[in-house]
A and B are shown apart, each in its own frame.
Chain A
Amino acid sequence: DVKVTQSSRYLVKRTGEKVFLECVQDMDHENMFWYRQDPGLGLRLIYFSYDVKMKEKGDIPEGYSVSREKKERFSLILESASTNQTSMYLCASSLGVTGVSYEQYFGPGTRLTVT
């Protein structure tokens, strides 16, 4: 079974803090994704990575950055947390073949609160 794990289920940070969210997958997937989920808005893609050290902006990258130094690990960084970044953050991974979509496997999510 594919397993995607996230470093924290719940996180409370103060405005202006630097926040790191970690995601690890164990199935040798090429693609990894970071989404945020807000009521009524569904899942919105922040960043994704299709290979080590490769990244592409998603639909809402402002205020976020990412790092992928190893294939199994994808980190989301909030350089200076703000209250409007309070949300549920979901990491996902999938096989990567250009031009083909594969099912995404999601981690349990991190509920981040910025006060």
Chain B
Amino acid sequence: GQQVMQIPQYQHVQEGEDFTTYCNSSTTLSNIQWYKQRPGGHPVFLIQLVKSGEVKKQKRLTFQFGEAKKNSSLHITATQTTDVGTYFCAGGRTSYDKVIFGPGTSLSVIP
């Protein structure tokens, strides 16, 4: 069946360093969503990408959707302690709003 993978599983960075997580699907996606889950919290929607090659920015966060719509990335510039959490990508399927979540990348930021 369709799978969505993410790497790395864990990432520890010094505050101020950059961070990137990668999301890959075994099949072409209709869209990609990104969510952030703080420790002890629930996933919160960050952004959705729909178009091939699309790039969107939210302050220090840059999201990219691959040309083939099978991969995506989230890049954080100059990480801060508030960036700590697990970042999930979720690949959209074609009907009824279902998405498949990747296993997530857990980010730790060392002050």
Contact = CB atoms under 8 A, between A and B. Distances in A.
A, B in one complex:
yes
Interface of A: 31, 35, 40-45, 48, 50, 56, 58-59, 90, 92, 94-109
> Top 6 closest A-B pairs, CB basis?
A103-B45, A42-B103, A43-B101, A101-B92, A106-B42, A42-B101
B31 interface: yes
Contact of B97 (A35, A42, A50): A50
B108 to A, nearest CB: 15
Interface residues of B, number: 27
Contacts of B6: 42
Contacts of B41: 108
B33 interface: yes
B33 A101 contact: yes
A7 B31 CA distance: 32
B46 to A, nearest CB: 9
B97 A31 contact: yes
B102 to A, nearest CB: 6
Contacts of B9: 40
